[in-house]
Structure 1
Amino acid sequence: MNCVSLKSIPFFLQLVGSLGNTSRSDNINRLEELVITGCGQINWQGSVVLPTSLSKIDLERPGYSMDRFMRGFLDLTSLTYLKIHRCDSLTAIPLHVWRSNLPSLEVLDIYFCNNLTSIVSEASSSSSTTNGGIKGLSSLAKIRITWCPKLLSLHEFLQPDCLPAVKNIEVSFCKELISPSVDRLDGLQQLTIEGSDKCNMERAMILPSSLKKLSLKNCQGIESINLANGQSASSPVLEKLVIVNCSDLKSIGGAEAVDKIKTLCICGCNELKEIRQPLRR
């Protein structure tokens, strides 16, 4: 169906008012999947209330005023999957709203949101994270954020109280992103960072002891990686390590730090003199 000229979806707006027990409102409130694709003319500037029954939201070129749309994620306690692709009007994700209203979210996929700059709580709400006012995204296990060239920081997002269940994080081609830090995410098992030009770390990159797979490609600014953090010599946790074209990297803790890693690829790191490159197995 060609929806390029569609400018509104009025039944989401009508939910704001009282509709009684009409069959139409009952049907909307049973909606489980919402897919909006190629509807770039929709204006979400008005009040948006989404059905609380939703378990999946799939957005690709969904229109404009998407900042307003994101603030309508209220009481979505059944939502497990959220995809946000090619939303050029999205500039900020209201983390305080999501933390309070998406307890079942398991997968978050953000791709090609060219104007997204932040994933943060409002100043008036951020303080409540310390007193129990805002919960974490307690089920969120998999995060992919790619091709968001204006995204500046994930510092507030990548916190253990916000992401207590996260297992897999991929951050790729976010050129302005500064130093994503994951060392406090104790359950993290897989981390991928690619195409980051501003990983300016004043200290060694520290990894959580739970990490099993690490991939760093085309990342500038990382000079040292502490591969030994929490790794037992007799039973190391890290199973796969890929480091490619990280031109500022100088140390990984010595050649012995990678002796017991089963799958290994290190190449194109010209400042790294501790090992002979390419190193593969």
Structure 2
Amino acid sequence: MSVLNIPEFGNQFGQACSLQTGPETPFLSRLSALVIKDCNDLKSLQGIMEHSAYLGRLVIKGCDSLTSIAEGQLPSSLKRLEISSCKNLQCLLNGSEDSNHSNASLVEYLYVSQCPALESLSSRVQLSETLQHLEIQHCKRLKTLGQLAETLKHLETKTCHKLESLSSSGQLPNSLEHLSIYDCGNLSSTGQLPASLQHLEIKNCSKLTSLSSGQLPAPLKYLKISSCQSLISIADSLQNLSNLREIDIFFCPSLDSFPADGLPNSNLTILSIQYCYKLVALPSFMHTLNSLKELNILNNINLVSLSSFPQQGFPSSLTSLSITGLQFYQVMKRLHKLTSLISLHISGCQDAMSFPEETKAIILPTCLTRLTLDNFVMLESLSPKGFRNLTSLEYLSISKCPALTSLPKEGLLSSILELHISECSQLKDYCLRNRERHKSEMANIPYVKIDGKFIH
């Protein structure tokens, strides 16, 4: 037998508070995985673990009498430990510094979730000498993770509201490659980030003011920061991040600038900056980002002047651009230079009455295959002349344009394969009235959806 799932284990084995290995349970010594679920009488793992020489995975869930696990109770074969919904668990591994080294935990993967009384992961100096993956979720009394193993590669914390520090020493293991922190509102600093870090993701940490006082780790490939209301700066410089592929900054309302020397231009392919209300300028030298493919600049309300945008424009390597109306007006005259652009998403052009606006000399790139217009509250018409040169356009989406009454009189291009219309009441009425006409603007479009309903 390799796997055993035992619900209500404590009830099945009588009123004794600990699990017992007796004649009736000879199978336990042959298990490679054990799941113990909803055992309200379980207080200790004494006994069963002593005879589980082949146990590689242990799952404990909903055992409310369990307050700690004595470190010596875990077999050396155990590599994966998952504990959840144990409401009275206070200390995960209970041991001492001078405990027998041969009895120390050799767990490599540790997952802990929904343990509201948990205050400490280990009473020892170090949790496990072999730990590689640590994931802690919804442990509302936990203030620190303690001293982490130097073997740790993946660390994720989520919804630990009292967490003040990731490491008691203030330093994370040099081996760490992936760090994710979500909903830790009391965390004001990540500590010194390790030199091996490749993935950094932080979300909803309201006290965090900065990621680094100097530079971020050079191997970093992914940087994602969202809903950090107090974040003022990312780092003094990002130029050392030659491996960086993606930057995603979302709702950091206190962030007012990027490092003066701009972004690394070697491997960066995705740049997304959204809802950063104090940001007054985009990163410098953006035209040099020759690997950049996707750029999203949305709802950054202070990016309104021409000086907010790089004088040399965006890199010609862009294939996808999403931009809010106020920012769109600053780049619209340079759009035709984006000779690789295939997807354009524009939202929030509050005063545009036609699109593209011929009076403002907007020339859309002829290579476009996807175009999305969203929240043009004054838009009354689509310019036939502006669409005429879009011979590659296959996808058109129009949403939240309440004043738009019709499609171009000369008809849409025969190249369009999909048309999506939503929350455009007048345009919807027009299309539904004319959809049966053989020469209607929609007649040659294979796929049409209006307000989520398939038309043809």
Q: Same fold (TM over 0.5)?
A: yes
Question: What SS is found at the alignment partner of 1:22?
Answer: helix
Question: What SS is found at the alignment partner of 1:192?
Answer: strand
1:76 positional shift:
2.9
Q: Distance in 2 between matches of 1:113 and 1:50?
A: 21
Q: Distance in 1 between matches of 2:211 and 2:130?
A: 30
Q: Distance in 2 between matches of 1:63 and 1:43?
A: 8
Q: Distance in 2 between matches of 1:38 and 1:57?
A: 15
Q: Which residue of 2 aligns with 1:92?
A: 189
Q: Which residue of 2 aligns with 1:81?
A: 178
Q: Which residue of 1 aligns with 2:280?
A: 200
Is 2:270 the partner of 1:190? yes
Question: What SS is found at the alignment partner of 2:264?
Answer: coil
Letter in 1 for 2:164: M
Structure 1 residues 106 and 3: CA distance shift in structure 2, 3 A: farther
Structure 1 residues 63 and 147: CA distance shift in structure 2, 3 A: closer
1:250 and 1:271 in contact (8 A); partners too: no
Q: Which residue of 2 aligns with 1:146?
A: 226
Which of these residues, 58, 62, 67, is aligned with residue 160 of structure 2?
A: 62
Q: Distance in 2 between matches of 1:262 and 1:227?
A: 23
Which of these residues, 137, 143, 151, is aligned with residue 37 of structure 1?
A: 137
1:113 and 1:147 in contact (8 A); partners too: yes
Question: What SS is found at the alignment partner of 1:191?
Answer: strand
Q: Distance in 1 between matches of 2:319 and 2:311?
A: 12
2:277 and 2:301 in contact (8 A); partners too: yes
TM-score where L is the length of structure 2: 0.48
Across the aligned residues of Structure 1 and Structure 2, the Cα RMSD in angstroms comes to: 3.3
Structure 1 residues 220 and 8: CA distance shift in structure 2, 3 A: farther
Letter in 1 for 2:162: Y
Q: Which residue of 2 aligns with 1:212?
A: 293
1:38 positional shift:
0.6
Q: Distance in 1 between matches of 2:242 and 2:283?
A: 23
Q: Distance in 1 between matches of 2:184 and 2:140?
A: 9
Letter in 1 for 2:238: Q
Which of these residues, 270, 275, 279, is aligned with residue 362 of structure 2?
A: 275
How many pairs does the alignment contain?
250
Q: After the TM superposition, which of the residue ranges 167-176 and 205-214 deviates more from structure 2?
A: 205-214
Which structure carries more relative contact order (alpha carbon 8 Å, separation 6+)? Answer: 1
Q: Distance in 1 between matches of 2:98 and 2:170?
A: 17
Identity %: 22
Which of these residues, 183, 196, 204, is aligned with residue 112 of structure 1?
A: 204
Q: Distance in 2 between matches of 1:179 and 1:271?
A: 28
2:254 and 2:277 in contact (8 A); partners too: yes
Larger radius of gyration: 2
Question: What SS is found at the alignment partner of 1:116?
Answer: coil
Question: What SS is found at the alignment partner of 2:336?
Answer: helix
Q: Distance in 2 between matches of 1:226 and 1:268?
A: 21
Q: Which residue of 2 aligns with 1:238?
A: 318
**For 1:123-176, what per-residue CA distance to the aligned partner results, in whole angstroms no more than 9, with x for missing partners?**
xxx5xx7xxxxxx523211111111111112142x5112x23111010001111
Is 2:249 the partner of 1:171? yes
